[in-house]
Amino acid sequence: MDKAWRVAVASLDGKVINEHFGRAKVFYILDINRDGTWRFYEERKVTPLCSSGEHTDEGLLESINALRDCTAVLVACIGMVARRALEINHIGVFEQPDTIEDALNKLTRYFIQTNYTVPEGK
């Protein structure tokens, strides 16, 4: 299995994980390889899920569909409903307000040590 783990990172500046999942306008998509290296894949623009502190089921589904090819998301914060919806759709959730580089290094070690399973079809 040499398939990479694809991770979506919620960031305002592309350097620090400092965005709430529901307020994110962009996710930085990165691929973590099984040899421990990782690389930038793309910047993915999305419609923010939360507006005035509320969200709709349709908005949540749209956010999940935008990240469907991802194994996990790295966010500063996420609500329980969104967390559970992502997990039900086989997308792991990691709250890690940190620099993207440090968080990816930690996540890479975790994925490799645990042999984190990429859900079928990803």
Q: Which residue, 26, 23, 120, is CA-closest to 66?
A: 26
Strand partners, 62: none
Query: CA-CA-CA-CA torsion for 82, 87, 89, 91, nearest 10 degrees?
Result: 100
Token pair of 94 as six digits: 């990691």
Three-class SS string for 27-38? EEEEEECCCCCE
Top pLDDT among 49 and 119 is at 49
Angle at the Cα of 77 (from 11 to 113), degrees rounded to 5?
Answer: 85
Percent of the chain at pLDDT above 70? 91
Q: What is the mean pLDDT of the chain?
A: 89
Token pair of 86 as six digits: 């992502």
Res. 117: pLDDT tops 80: no
pLDDT for 49 equals 86
Estimate to the nearest angstrom the gap between the alpha carbon of 2 and the chain centroid.
Answer: 20
Domain ranges (residues) in the chain: 5-114
Q: Give pLDDT tens digits for 83-98.
A: 999 999 999 999 999 9
CATH architecture of 5-114: 2-Layer Sandwich (3.30)
pLDDT for 55 equals 74
Q: Give pLDDT tens digits for 33-44.
A: 989 899 999 999
